Amino acid sequence: MQTPLFKSPPCFPKISSLTRTSLSQPSPLRPPPPLKGRRREKKRNNSSSSCCRGGGRARAMPSPTSVSGSTEITGPSLLKSKLTEASFLASLMPKKEIAADRFLDSYPEYDGRGVVIAIFDSGVDPAAAGLQVTSDGKPKVLDVLDCTGSGDIDTSTVVKADGDGCIRGASGASLAVNPSWKNPSGEWHVGSKLVYELFTVTLTSRLKKERKKKWDEKNQAAIAVAVKNLDEFDQKHVKVEDVKLKWIREDLQNIVDFLRKQADVYDDKGPIIDAVVWYDGELWRVALDTQSLEDESGKGKLADFVPLTNFRIERKFGVFSKLDACTFVANVYEEGNIVSIVTDSSPHGTHVAGIGTAFHLQEPLLNGVAPGAQIISCKIGDSRLGSMETGTGLTRALIAAVEHKCDLINMSYGEPTLLPDYGRFVDLVNEVVNKHRLIFVSSAGNSGPALTTVGAPGGTTSSIIGVGAYVSPEMAAGAHCVVDPPDEGLEYTWSSRGPTADGDLGISISAPGGAVAPVPTWTLQCRMLMNGTSMASPSACGGIALLLSAMKVEGIEISPYGVRKALENTSVAIGSLPEDKLTSGQGLMQVDKALEYIRKSRDFPSVRYEVNISLSGKTSPTFRGIYMREASACRQPTEWTVKVRPKFHEGASKLAQLVPFEEHIELHCSDKTIIKAPEYLLLTHNGRSFNIIVDPMNLKDGLHYHELYGIDCKAPWRGPLFRIPLTITKTTPVMDHPPLVSFSGMRFSPGHIERRYIEVPQGATWVEATMRASGFDTSRRFFIDTLQLSPLKRPSKWESVVVFSSPSAKTFSFQVESGQTIELAVAQFWSSGRGSQESAVVDFEISFHGIDVNNEELIFDGSDASIRIVARSLLSSEKLVPLAILRKLRVPYRPSEYKLRTLVENRDRLPSGKQILSLTLTYKFKLEDAADINPHIPLLNDRVYDTKFESQFYMISDSNKRIFCTGDVYPESTRLPKGEYTLLLHLRHDNLQLLEKMKSLVVFIERTLDDKEAVRLSFFSEPDGHATGNGGFKSSVLVPGLKEGFYIAPPSKDKLPKNCPEGSILVGEISYGKLTSDEQGNGKDPKKNPAFYQISYIVPPNKSNAEKEKGSPAASDRSVSKRLEEEVRDAKIRVLTSLRQNIEEERSEWEKLSASLKGEYLKHTPLLAKILDGLVSQNNVEHKVQHYEQIIDAANEVVDSIDRDELAKYVADKSDPEDDEAEKTKKKMEATRDQLAEALYQKGLALDELESLKTERSAKDYKDEDSGKSDAQADLFEENLKELRKWVDVKSSKYGTLLVIREKRSERFGTALKVLNDIIQDDGDPPKKKLYDLRLSLIDEIGWMHIASYERQWMHVRFPRSLPLF
């Protein structure tokens, strides 16, 4: 099923389609990962009442730097009357808040026309409501790209149609080609993909439920038939004594049991679709066969598919089936060898695009901010990773934005960072903005309300406009359905706050952070409510598109620098306090005022002002603002050196622009008692440095925000040309002993935030806190954040969301860093308590505790020596209860091979013209038992934006090429069965030297130990305690000021987990204290104690060289001539086995050599066994009857060459392990037994195949007298099986196939399935395809089509034809 681009979607923008409980999925700002980071879109998963993080209450105020000087409150508005239907609809897609409605009333043609926006997100559905055409009838979506590669299908296999016009698809299916399709070369590129890999988790879950329901119906019908057959048998045979009748009843029961078990183990991996690509003489075309998705027979055939080409050419898309209602786009790369099937990885991207640009002809109030703008969709959220962004996706998206000559980029993704304004992606963004003049807008994050929670890249990158999330009274009443909406607009509670770690403001502007906007068709609704800075960013981006639309028409040069300055200098302040800028940036953007500013400043040069700040006397580190957070910084005045340098766009004329540039700047500061600075500055192109003095000594405890900014003396109306933010947190000292801080009587109303800053006492390692809430009636919801900063480390954040349904107290505990300032932010959620007249009163008590040790993180070097630990308590008496457990084993691996290549496609060519290279590293590892494993790459893990490496991606597969897991910078633990595995690591960069250095990159395979394997470490009061067994140390009480020492012993060698090779690392945690409320103490898990640290043990060599040599075999006592004769014989056999059976010439040579060797070495069993192996390995045999007869003869020769009586004697005897000669003889005889068993096994298989072939012929050519031969053949099969039973367990996975064949020959299919399932389940090796093929043939023979279809889908999972693309 397909839909042309311009066809209206089956949904109408009516009020009835909007539900108050519309939900979103959690979105891409990754909250700071406590243990391992995950990335998510920057939005919140809320109902209309919204349940998210962040936001301070704000009051509307005119900006002190507004160009108009007007005091009219045009942004945040008061809700003075009830909503009408029109105002309700308008609140669902807010535009009034940023004056976009007023702007469009004045300039209806400046609605984004002529502007192209690149949406960096989870993908945009071109069939979604409002995303078909612009307001002036142009195509809305110009291109749809999957920049991640998650939808790529390998179509490098080329086939040709047979005489019937059919081709063999990559799935193995025969596909009829539409004869009307032009294909001059006759070559068809084929590939396949499991369709669930293209779908979101939500869509997959829905499809699985619907498909399972239909499957259950069919399976229940099959069970009913099976039970009926069993019941009829029991009624007919009341007493079963005959052996054959017992077999029949057992078979009937096994059928019932199999069907019931199938229902229990059902796990739908989804249908597989075939993709076909060809060149029609002008364009590359794509068609899909989706029959496996369709309910109706005959639907989804390849020949019925309307071929697609790259979306940007014809702008057509398809829908997989009516069941999924999922839109997709196709793009072809590498001359038909790759086809990218583009689907979205969440509704987030479509929602974002709708906020920015949706156009609804019949419901204009539901239009996006810029309905005239066009978009390209750049999917950066990888479907393989649950919609997380990857470096590959980000880089390709930037390339696409430049290639399509976009004007704007919107990105509503991000995560915390350890270094602001740093990294590979930031470098590429700077180039795109400064050279190609794209305006980059991004969400600031959803990690508020604590300060310094802005995420990368939106809140931490100088060249990106970071946007905070604002909610107006109308939005609260309409979109969120709040009973008693606020009188004034405010920032959402969860909106991230500045400043950045290096002092920059972090947030540029604010915009409405919630909307009811279009979502993909597969959600089965037209639109839904989402809120987050993800929604604020496209609102702002749409507003900027209005400005660019006007600028293009009016001939005003577009510069990201000038547009940003206009936005910031015309925004309406949210809140009356200076520190409110840390929440909302310069305020709520105002489109109309920004256009006035742009018009007035059109003749001024397009310049950004780079500010670098350092402490006087120091050249590094440099900062973009001043952030005096720690207590020591506020104890005296400090002098800072500020350098301001104008930056022009790349390519600016040196003579016409750089040389004449000169500005007379008047410096202003918000409080001259705090900041002392020069009054004037002469600024030229080369910049100017000056010193300032900051004196915070007289400030009160708490948060203080100030600015130093420069005004153009000749044009003061321009407002600040540059700003230097100054954030000061004056801490509350902890004076009590034991250290206790109380904040009493804090009164809360909806959206109110209280911030406290405390200098964590020296020696404190954890906090125990109590929060008491009272004085309220309806329930109250609070966000509690604490945050500390450390150099070159992501912010250490602890957070909790608590709900008080009645006055009560709640307790918390969390780890802290000694001596560092900690912020406590307590916020009542913005919509909590609305409608109540009561204010909540909160008392917060913080008690500091700590055990200080000389080494926080311990590393055992593999020796037998203990490590000395000295502990002390500086604050109060603490119970010292050390606990250490090693829970994970990290085994290092270096790559076994590498492959370096140039990526030739345009999508991998940077705007600078450099081609990206890829390095693929191969690692091999083996698991002796099933385990939870996690690839650990210390150099690359846990950083997406704050890294100079471009991207990484790994996949782990077994020997069948089945993919078990994929990942990137945040690897997740995966359960793997026993077996051998390959890890492929894919790295990308344009720097060849950098990739060359990575060729021997070490990867750790981290295995989680089960409870039995985990190593608990012991403590002693003596240095030799672990050796002597004396002086065990359990616990003690630390007295303040006194130190106490003890020893931690390394694990004993006998307690190390098995499969623990030399050089591997055991990793775990150690804790020293416990909560005061924990009387019993936690003796099992250090991580459950209030403060814990990492501990590691490097595994030493297992055996010395002397021990290894001791076990080496002794020299042979055979004569030289005998040894030479055997060596020559074995060499000849090796030559025989090296000849390839699939090459005619070599097969002929093999036949001659095998005959010659048989004559030369009579009855040499190993030779005869190799000859049998060679016959078995032959494929595409023309004369099959003769072939199987040869196998039977060869197997008989092996059997006849063995003295079975002698063999039985040796196998039965138990040799003395100390007798080397006896042990060698036994091993030799065991090898002979295995050769005998293999010969009998292959003979049994050949007998069965031979009988099947002769049975087929007898139906055509043979006469009745041949039936006697068939019976004789059956007797031979039974005799052969009986002989095999003597030597091996025929139920094992290696030989059990014969048992299955035996039951199948007797038409006891239920018993055959039971035996086969037991074999498969007991087989510890990777799945064997022949066993699953056999099971499928049994199911086909029974006629269970629903199970056969299910099994065929699983075959593509277990035994894929090739590995997927990166």
Do 95 and 525 meet the contact criterion of CB atoms below 8 Å apart? Answer: no
Please state, in angstroms and as integers, the Cα–Cα distance from residue 712 to each residue in 280, 666, 709, following that order.
62, 6, 10
Q: How far apart are CA 706 and CA 424, in angstroms?
A: 32
Computed on alpha carbons and rounded to an integer, the radius of gyration of the chain in Å comes to 37
CA angle 913, 648, 377 (to 5 degrees): 50
Q: Which of 952, 943, 953 is nearest to 414 (CA)?
A: 943
Please state, in angstroms and as integers, the Cα–Cα distance from residue 517 to each residue in 85, 90, 349, 1136, following that order.
17, 12, 11, 71
CB half-sphere exposure, 865, CA atoms < 13 A = 8
Q: Which of 597, 415, 501 is nearest to 28 (CA)?
A: 415
Q: How far apart are CA 1347 and CA 1354, in angstroms?
A: 11
> For 90, phi and psi rounded to 5 degrees?
-65, -35
Q: Which of 699, 292, 342, 725 is nearest to 504 (CA)?
A: 725
Report CA 298 to chain centroid distance, whole Å. Answer: 37
* Catalytic site positions: 121, 348, 534
Burial 1294-1324 (b: 16+ CB within 10 A, else e): bbbbbbbbbbbeeebbbbbbbbbbebbeeee
Q: Taking the chain, what is the end-to-end CA distance rounded to the nearest angstrom?
A: 28
Beta partners for residue 885, in sequence order: 1016, 1069
The per-residue DSSP string of 486-541 comes to -SS-EE-TBS-----TTS-----EEEE-EEEEE--GGGTSSEEEEESHHHHHHHHH
CA angle 1068, 1073, 1074 (to 5 degrees): 105
DSSP 386: T
Beta partners for residue 1007, in sequence order: 889, 933
Q: How far apart are CA 1298 and CA 1281, in angstroms?
A: 7
Q: How far apart are CA 1306 and CA 1251, in angstroms?
A: 13
> For 1350, phi and psi rounded to 5 degrees?
-60, -45
Burial 270-309 (b: 16+ CB within 10 A, else e): bbbbbbbbbbeeebbbbbbbbbbbbeeeeebebebbebbb
CB half-sphere exposure, 462, CA atoms < 13 A = 24
Q: How far apart are CA 1243 and CA 956, in angstroms?
A: 37
Q: What is the dihedral of CA 236, 237, 243, 244, to 10 degrees?
A: 0
Order of strands, sheet of 284-289, starting from the edge strand that comes earlier in the sequence: 157-159, 188-194, 272-279, 284-289
Secondary structure class of 51 (helix, strand, coil): coil
Do 579 and 570 meet the contact criterion of CB atoms below 8 Å apart? Answer: no
Beta partners for residue 121, in sequence order: 379
Q: How far apart are CA 616 and CA 954, in angstroms?
A: 46
The encoded tokens of residue 258 equal 């199999």
Report CA 947 to chain centroid distance, whole Å. Answer: 17
Beta partners for residue 1032, in sequence order: 1020
Amino acid at 242: D
